[in-house]
Amino acid sequence: MNWWQKLKRNSLARYGALVLLLLYLVAIGAEFFAPYDPYVSQTDGSLLPPTQVFWRSPSGQFLGPHVYPTTQGAVDLETGDRQLAQDLSQPSPVRLFVKG
Distance CA 86, CA 70 (A): 4
Q: Which of 31-35, 70-74, 87-91 has the lowest mean pLDDT?
A: 31-35
pLDDT digits (tens, 9 = 90+) for 68-85: 998 888 888 888 888 888
Shared domain for 62 and 89, answered yes or no, is yes
CB–CB of 73/84 below 8 Å? yes
Shared domain for 31 and 62, answered yes or no, is no
Shared domain for 56 and 30, answered yes or no, is no
In a domain, 41, yes or no: no
The count of structural domains within the chain is 2
In a domain, 27, yes or no: yes
| Strands of the chain, DSSP E | 54-56, 62-67, 70-75, 82-86, 92-93
CB–CB of 44/72 below 8 Å? yes
Domain that holds residue 82: 47-95
pLDDT-derived band at 100 (thresholds 50, 70, 90) equals: low
In a domain, 18, yes or no: yes
Q: What pTM, to 2 d.p., does this model score?
A: 0.58
Q: Which residues contact 85 (CB under 8 A, 6 or more apart)?
A: 70, 71, 73
